[in-house]
Amino acid sequence: MRPDDLKYSAEHEWMRNEGDEVVIGITDHAAEELGDIVFIELPEEGSEFSPGDSMGTIETVKAVEELYTPVGGTVVAVNAAVVESPETVNAAPYEGGWLVKFKPDGRESEGLMDAAAYTTMVEG
């Protein structure tokens, strides 16, 4: 079951508000579809992005995919644990498998969904 307190993008990223920061990761659906994640490249702290920008890559045994940010802002933390152990994203995409934390600048991608709408999209 997908957490109800998150927003989801059509590119399969999730976003959780935590005070004046947002935490971003990939969804369980994306992790499942990608298969075994073997490498993750994330931006450096202090990097600035606009909504929809590529912020890194995720590599599996079968493909390399871009990671997109659903918000604009500045990276304030990177989850070093997933860089060291990328399989954490497969095992716990909503808990320990988060990717980055942003200090948002108020801009969000259009079309962010709640859990029900995202579930309908991926099952539709």
- Give the residue extent of every domain in the chain: 7-108
Q: List Cβ neighbours of 20 (8 Å cut-off, separation of 6 or more).
A: 103
Domain 7-108 belongs in CATH node 2.40.50.100: yes
Pick from 111, 113, 95, 77: nearest CA to 31: 95
d(CA 68, CA 85): 20
pLDDT band at 100 (very low <50, low <70, confident <90, very high): very high
d(CA 60, CA 105): 31
Question: pLDDT by residue (tens digit) across 4-48?
Answer: 999 999 999 999 999 999 999 999 999 999 999 999 999 999 999
Mean pLDDT, rounded, of the chain: 96
User: What is the reported pTM?
Assistant: 0.95
pLDDT band at 124 (very low <50, low <70, confident <90, very high): confident
Give me the pLDDT at residue 87, please: 95
Give me the pLDDT at residue 28, please: 96
d(CA 104, CA 118): 22
